[in-house]
Structure 1
Amino acid sequence: MLEKLQRLLGLRTDPVIFFTSAGLTVLFVVAAISLTEQVDRIFATASDWLLTNLGWFYILGVTTFLVYLLWIAVSRYGHIRLGAQDDRPEYSRRTWFAMLFAAGIGTILMFWGVAEPISHFAEPPQQGVEPQSTEAARMAMAYSLYHFGLHTWSIFCLPSLTFAYFVYVRGMPFRVSSVLYPLLGDRVYGTAGRIVDIAAVMGTLFGVAVSIGLGTMQINSGLARLFGLPENSLVQVLLITVITAIATTSVVYGLDKGIRRLSNINIVMAIGLMLFVFATGATLFLAKGIIENVGVYLSSLVSLAFWNDTFADTGWQGTWTVFYWAWTITWSPFVGIFIARISKGRTIREFVLGVLALPTAFTIVWFSVFGMSAIDIELNGPGGLVREVVEEGDIPGALFTFLENYPLTTLASALSVLIVVIFFTTSSDSASLVVDMLSAGQREEGGPTRQRVFWAITEGVVAGTLIAATGKSGLDALAEVITVLGLPFFVLAFLMMYSLVRALRTDFPELTGPPAALRRRMERERRTREWGAGKRDGENAEGIEGTGGAGRAGRAGGETSEGAGGGASEGGR
């Protein structure tokens, strides 16, 4: 029946994944509208339980991802190319970085660049730190960089590396279930695989919906200051409608003409805004701060990576760190597959170090400029940010309140709104492309454009409906859903780590085991032992060594053939 409906609509996708995901999305939206209190209560209870009892697992998990990625980058597997040996990257490093950033956390940095440092500066999470002190400022920067640096990009890098390997090296479909082939075998093409893919589609839609909601609130706040527009659900729904239309247009143009051009334009504008704040603000203070924050981040990284607030148990990590990790990992399939899609031809080492290092370096500079400028305004300027952002809770308006302390406020605010709009557009555009890939299993943009248009509109409808139906509380409820959905995605990420190592060992047996020098030394020691022990049958040691060597060569050849055959067989499937 579903296949008949697919043919009738002219779609080219997996009908079970496509229609089930679409149906569940509609069901959730209807339930959120008609049974708001009940849905809120269920997910609030589950979310509170997870934050209280499994917050440590989320924190340990992301740190484990980071250590694993650094290990695989410097290991003997690092030189393996994600594709054929003669494949080369499709995009330049500059374009690649711009697309990484636009599809990743560009919108979130615009939203939190001022709000998070000033929040931790006013209300330090660790006991014994005086609010709005020098130590509070230092720790505020450490927490912000921890939340948006290497750990966040590890959440994106792990699935994207795994997808890229299984798709470009093994030739598997562009689905989340493909990376579980070493565990599930041919069941990835059956019910088990489809359940995984449907969960990935749902997580992507809801994760992007949260970002859309935050971005819309920030755009509404900026327009309220520029043109006096009211800040309410009606204006926000209209904004979502307009921006979804822009994203849909970009979807129609495709990856190269749409996302790539918008990403390049937007990263230039974002850097321009950052340089404006740097040049017109406390320039020397910021220059020193950028360098100092590198040290603050690196010196705090290990302790924060394992900090669980065990003694104080204030609950702060649940509302900040754990929520960030849970939210980020729910849309890691979207960002992961998108990054994999634009990274064919790069080596594992280049891929991992690029995805981790380049965005993290930019994040350090971004937060140093905006976060330290905000703190400087509180310490040495007119202040007001703590009152607006922390005491009055106007987080969406934090950036625009901040820009009121700079010349050309109207122009800078208008540019900020435009940057958020384009980041919003590229995120929605990228998500539409990826959700279409997840539901179709296609490596290229081969499906009908109407499929990607459908998903672009669906993302806007999910966010718009929740805002219209329940306002900000609806987005809070969705955030609680995301926190609950994050748990199975964490489990999936650990399975990805195992699957990738198992596949690498199968496909490249010559790289498995001790290094060549160690193997040669072990061989010499074995021969020495055999020579000293002598041979019972009166054969000379040299003859036996030759026979043994031939036998070993034969066994090694058989193992290599078996390993290559296994890899080819799995890839063929």
Structure 2
Amino acid sequence: MPTAVLTVAFVTYGLLAPESLGTISAESFGWVTRHFGWLIILTTNAMVLFCIYLACSRFARVRLGAPEDRPEFRTASWIAMMFAAGLGIGLIFYGVAEPMMHFTSPPPGVAEPETEQAARAGIDYAIFHWGIHGWAIFAVAGLTFSYFGYRHGRRFLVSEPLRPLLGARVDGWVGHVVNSLALFATLFGVIPSLGLGALQINGAMSRLYGVENSDTVALALIVGMMVVVILSAVTGVAKGVQFLANTAMVASVLMALFMVVVGPSAFLGNSVVESMTSYLQNLLPMSARTGTYGQGEWVQAWTVYYWVWWISWAPFVGMFIARISRGRTIRELVLGVTLIPTAVSAVWFALFGGAATYLDLNGIADISSAVAADPSTALFSVFEHYPLTSVMTTVAMVLVALFFISGVDAATVVMGILSTGGSESPRRPVVVFWGVATAAAASVLMLAGGLSAIQSAMVVICAPFTAILIAMSVALVKQLRLDHPEGEAIPLVERPTEEQAPEGGTASRGELGPIDRVAAVAPRP
């Protein structure tokens, strides 16, 4: 209830004083990133090291569930869902936009703007921001939820994994505060995706139908699509949402293949290989850059912002990962969650960012100017120089809508779970409330200053969740050591047979429940 009241108060203030809200968000963003950016960067790097430790430790063979449990999904299906989780509105929006933004404004001291070196750095940093660091955050959250949920039978609440540290206090006001922070992180972590999706659909409509490209139209799109999400929550069409999410995943793959076929294939093939290699070579210096000497504003606006965005999605995506990973080992989860989506993201940016830089560097089109004018139309600016422009623009527009509807539908379910004490079946009015609250908060922030206000508010509100993520990691290690004392032999894991790992483990129950509904979609910022 307190969280709902604070959310209503936030929305009301935004409606009454949108300019004041925009100013406060911008100033608070600068203060948080200047004073705590180093801590956020350090925490994110620690999550990567923590994943490496878990994958190589004596706990790597521990099963997420009872010792006799076996994976509910076949490995191929599990990987497919990891692939789906690697895509979303963010990748569609930034696939061209981010590499080109870095191409024209690379990190200070890294490269001269609009050069081949800047083009390479642009793709490197795009992969960096969508690569292993972010997925390590998700892996830690998913592993923690899965271990405490399926090994110890705890509720799917963020406070429950903290029980080894806080004891019975998680059942009192401390637990309520933790869960409220998680709920706020989910709410404001989802909102930037709403803004990105609405702006990009507006950009596509502007190209196809001449619709005005403005915050007002984007606001109408947010409201319209949230109506669809709320109807989905009320009617419980979870299988329909699953179908939409799977369709979105297939459409993403086809769009990538289209670019390979009609684009400069040899150049793009080289871009994929070189970008992956360059990313690995520069991973350490990119990870350690905090902006101490002349790069502070760039690091705060990009890297710190991204890491907080990933952290804000940890409760949401953590539940998704936990749900589909029951019966797997710690090593399987960590390696699968961190490596596979990172590879997908790397290929995506190498293809679409590579296609854009190819057009720009060879004087075929001025993509960098188009991106500077309106990042939401970056992808469509590239499509204009290849066959089937209208078809591909329409596909991209529909794809963004599918990710929007399926992802936000699942997010409202998670917020319902968090606000009802971990109930796996939150009442429909509760889910509807959070759907309306999400749309309302996104709308007032759009009025307060557009996408920049949305992004600033997200960082300010979600940054405190960094401390909870650290505490969850410490609690997980403590519980693992209690459950498996030093010197205890953890048995080798037997490979499950096809009979032990039936395709689509929830099918036997006949319908999808709320947690399954979260697992049915591709939640991604």
Aligned residue number for residue 431 of structure 1: 411
Matches of 1:241 and 1:491 in 2, distance apart? 33
Aligned residue number for residue 537 of structure 1: none
TM-fit CA distance, 1:289: 1.5
Structure 1 contact 251–258 (Cα < 8 Å) conserved = no
Aligned residue number for residue 399 of structure 2: 419
Say if 1:437 and 1:88 are closer, same or farther in 2 by CA, change over 3 A.
Answer: farther
Matches of 1:488 and 1:466 in 2, distance apart? 20
Aligned residue number for residue 351 of structure 2: 369
Aligned residue number for residue 167 of structure 2: 185
Describe how 1:235-250 pairs up with structure 2 within 5 A: 235-250=217-232
SS in 2 for 1:54: helix
Matches of 2:235 and 2:71 in 1, distance apart? 22
> Residue type of the partner of 1:158?
V
> Residue type of the partner of 1:188?
V
Aligned residue number for residue 350 of structure 1: 332
The answer on 1:315 being equivalent to 2:297 is yes
% of aligned pairs identical? 39
SS in 2 for 1:172: coil
Candidates 454, 460, 469, aligned match of 2:433: 454
Matches of 1:249 and 1:272 in 2, distance apart? 29
TM-fit CA distance, 1:475: 3.7
TM-fit CA distance, 1:102: 4.7
Matches of 2:215 and 2:24 in 1, distance apart? 24
Structure 2 contact 61–330 (Cα < 8 Å) conserved = yes
Aligned residue number for residue 471 of structure 2: 495
TM-fit CA distance, 1:183: 1.3
Aligned residue number for residue 220 of structure 1: 202
* More relative contact order, 1 or 2 (CA 8 Å, 6+ apart): 2
Say if 1:105 and 1:201 are closer, same or farther in 2 by CA, change over 3 A.
Answer: farther
Say if 1:236 and 1:399 are closer, same or farther in 2 by CA, change over 3 A.
Answer: same
The answer on 1:115 being equivalent to 2:97 is yes
The answer on 1:324 being equivalent to 2:306 is yes
Say if 1:334 and 1:221 are closer, same or farther in 2 by CA, change over 3 A.
Answer: same
Segments of structure 2 that go 5 or more residues without pairing to the other structure are 492-525
TM-fit CA distance, 1:174: 0.8
SS in 2 for 1:498: helix
Q: Which has the larger radius of gyration?
A: 1
Matches of 2:58 and 2:361 in 1, distance apart? 50
Matches of 1:273 and 1:363 in 2, distance apart? 14
Segments of structure 1 that go 5 or more residues without pairing to the other structure are 1-18, 517-573
TM-fit CA distance, 1:402: 1.3
The answer on 1:263 being equivalent to 2:242 is no
Structure 2 contact 70–327 (Cα < 8 Å) conserved = yes
Aligned residue number for residue 300 of structure 1: 282
Say if 1:465 and 1:48 are closer, same or farther in 2 by CA, change over 3 A.
Answer: closer
> Residue type of the partner of 1:211?
S
Matches of 1:344 and 1:188 in 2, distance apart? 24
Structure 1 contact 97–359 (Cα < 8 Å) conserved = no
Aligned residue number for residue 317 of structure 2: 335
Aligned residue number for residue 402 of structure 1: 382
The answer on 1:505 being equivalent to 2:512 is no
Say if 1:252 and 1:362 are closer, same or farther in 2 by CA, change over 3 A.
Answer: farther
> Residue type of the partner of 2:196?
L
> TM-score scaled by structure 1?
0.81
Say if 1:264 and 1:423 are closer, same or farther in 2 by CA, change over 3 A.
Answer: same
Say if 1:79 and 1:378 are closer, same or farther in 2 by CA, change over 3 A.
Answer: same
Aligned residues: 491
Mean Cα deviation higher: 112-121 or 321-330 = 321-330
Aligned residue number for residue 479 of structure 1: 455
Aligned residue number for residue 197 of structure 1: 179
In the TM superposition, what whole-angstrom CA distance separates every residue of 1:1-25 from its partner, at most 9, and x where no partner exists?
A: xxxxxxxxxxxxxxxxxx2222111
Aligned residues: CA RMSD: 2.2
Say if 1:21 and 1:442 are closer, same or farther in 2 by CA, change over 3 A.
Answer: same
Say if 1:44 and 1:234 are closer, same or farther in 2 by CA, change over 3 A.
Answer: closer
Matches of 1:65 and 1:403 in 2, distance apart? 37
Say if 1:337 and 1:155 are closer, same or farther in 2 by CA, change over 3 A.
Answer: same
